[in-house]
Amino acid sequence: MIRWGLRLGLGVIVCVLAYLAVTFVQVHQASSNDDRSPSDAIVVLGAAQYDGRPSPALRGRLDHANELYRSGVAPRIVLTGSNQPGDRFTEAFAGFTYLREQGVSESDLVIVDDGDSTWESLAAAERILAQRGWERVTLVSDGYHNARLEAMSGDLGRDGFVSPSTTGGSLGEMARETGLVAVGRVIGFDRLLRYRP
């Protein structure tokens, strides 16, 4: 009986490790996906801002979205991201201000500042996209988020096409993202609300 229990336990451990290994490979491969096909809107996932100034990570995403916009990938940019307690500005508004200063027309910028997580931001953006009839979207974040963004978008009923501001990621970023994707696939990405890259 004890031997059977040990075998079962080892079998579970092997299965979990194999699942994580496969997920890691998928996250790594997805990190280089870069779809620049024409779409209806570019959706920028938020990142930290400092009193209205985008952090380097957010600025990288905004610059990439601007590049896509100017190359004709989409005629508008949707900016997401709320604020932390005590912040005067949201990530979406910081992005709006930054892109407006870069010469993007205000009429082509949409602020969606609901949501304290990637899932909530995507869900809030999805409501706006659906209301306006924008079907195909290009999601912009860092490359190591690609697999999770594609999966979350699918859970929200939309095909998500990614074009990252950076490709790949560090081993630590990849490992953390592997855990999030692995858990999200099991329990649902809507339950990963507390994690906000």
* Token reading at 77: 């940019």
How do beta strands 137-140 and 41-44 pair?
A: parallel
CB 46 within 8 A of CB 121: yes
Q: What is the pLDDT along the chain (197 residues), one digit of tens a residue?
A: 677 777 777 878 999 999 999 999 999 999 999 999 999 999 999 999 999 999 999 999 999 999 999 999 999 999 999 987 778 999 999 999 999 999 999 999 999 998 888 999 999 999 999 999 999 999 999 999 999 999 999 999 998 899 999 888 899 999 999 999 999 999 888 877 655 45
25 Cβ contact list (under 8 Å, min separation 6): none
Closest listed residue to residue 79, CA positions, set 1, 186, 54, 172: 54
Q: Would you say the C-alpha torsion 28, 33, 39, 41 has a positive or negative sign? A: positive
Domains and CATH numbers, the chain: 2-191 (3.40.50.620)
The predicted model scores a pTM of: 0.90
